[in-house]
Amino acid sequence: RWIIDLSQENWREAPEAADVCEALIAGQLAAIPTETVYGLAADATNGQACARIFSAKGRPQFNPLISHVQSVEAALKHGTFNEDALKLAEAFWPGPLTLVVPKRPESPISDLATAGLQSVALRVPSGPVMRFLAERTGRPLAAPSANVSGRVSTTTADAVEADLGHALSFIVDAGPCQIGIESTIVALTDGTPRLLRPGGVPREAIEAVLGQSLAAPTDLSTRQDAPQAPGMLTSHYAPAAAVRLNATDVRTGEAYLAFGAHALAGAEGAVACFNLSEAEDLTEAAARLFAAMRHLDSSGAATICVQSIPETGLGEAINDRLRRAAAPRTPGH
């Protein structure tokens, strides 16, 4: 484990930095924090390294990966950006936004990272560690969320260790992730900007920059054999417990995911309780969501009941993850 204190200016000079870069260049896996969640990273130009990501996560191979780069300039080498894509890159990078754009034929990103699609998902994270490692290795870094496929994403190094510790050469620990929910994914492949996944940048902020509404993914993109949108696999972000949404009361023996200052009736009968934000602050709630799910799941309760959360701003992403967590479980995911 490489423990980084980001408040110390010289973390980039730690000897571990060279070790992690060497491991990545050799095709090994490292868990690397971003501002959204921890990523399970590998050299995106190395097909074997990308294959290791899929096998470590137990991830279906058709689900493509996001490549992380250090700058807009670096991203432009891998994808073709239309005017809307450039506007979004300028407005939100570095930050929690992923752009799916046509892949440049000369990009060295492996077909395994893009699942053989003609498009590529690119992101310049604001978390400095991933950016630094992409720059220093000189490689785009493919990184899905660092969790076992279909399970809750990780926002701390301890959660990564519990899920994937056995498969990793390195865990880079820079403390808990600031945003706590994955990046928003927007596709700019057909002239119509489409929201593939709500996430850390609220829809409203993106629409304001574009001056138009985001469209839904195309039908084709929701097919499992040609995935354009993530988590179109029905169940995702699933804890072991069942999830009961929009609860209006807490039933005895349930774990309780609360939101706001007003507790639901029956709260005293909960075996565990976690309030995402007493102040009803959606930014705070997003940052705490995955840790909350892991915590409540560890109580052993058969069901987690969830108090309703507004659908505005980051609420759209939070509710998206909760709906997927509540979706019927498909075996093997």
> Residue 114 binds what, of Mg ion, ligand TXA, none (CB under 5 to 8 Å, by partner type)?
ligand TXA
Between 145 and 307, name the residue whose CB sits nearer to Mg ion: 145
Between 288 and 321, name the residue whose CB sits nearer to Mg ion: 321
In angstroms, the CA 104 to CA 93 distance is 20
DSSP letters, 2-41, are EE--TTSGGGGGSHHHHHHHHHHHTT--EEEE-SSSEEEE
The minimum distance between CB 169 and ligand TXA, in angstroms, equals 17
- Which phi and psi angles does 280 have, rounded to 5°? 60, 40
Between 126 and 145, name the residue whose CB sits nearer to Mg ion: 145
Query: CB nearest Mg ion: which residue?
Result: 145
Could you tell me how many residues of this chain bind Mg ion (CB under 5 A)? Answer: 1
- What is the strand order of the sheet 30-33 is part of? 2-3, 170-173, 30-33, 38-43, 141-142, 66-68, 119-123, 97-102, 184-187, 194-197
Check binding of 184 to Mg ion (CB under 5 A): no
Check binding of 63 to Mg ion (CB under 5 A): no
> Residue 119 binds what, of Mg ion, ligand TXA, none (CB under 5 to 8 Å, by partner type)?
ligand TXA
Q: Which of 305, 295, 303, 293 is nearest to 245 (CA)?
A: 305
> Residue 34 binds what, of ligand TXA, Mg ion, none (CB under 5 to 8 Å, by partner type)?
ligand TXA
**% helix / strand / coil in the chain, to the nearest 5?**
35, 20, 50
Pairing of strands 303-306, 97-102: unpaired
Check binding of 145 to Mg ion (CB under 5 A): yes
Between 142 and 243, name the residue whose CB sits nearer to ligand TXA: 142
DSSP H or E stretch at residue 273:
strand 272-275
Between 184 and 307, name the residue whose CB sits nearer to ligand TXA: 184
The minimum distance between CB 296 and ligand TXA, in angstroms, equals 21
- Which phi and psi angles does 210 have, rounded to 5°? -75, -25
DSSP H or E stretch at residue 303:
strand 303-306
Q: What are the residues binding ligand TXA (CB under 6 A)?
A: 34, 36-37, 39, 63-66, 98, 100, 114, 117, 119-121, 123, 143-145, 182-183, 185, 196, 227-228, 230-231
> Which residues of the chain form contacts with Mg ion (CB under 5 A)?
145
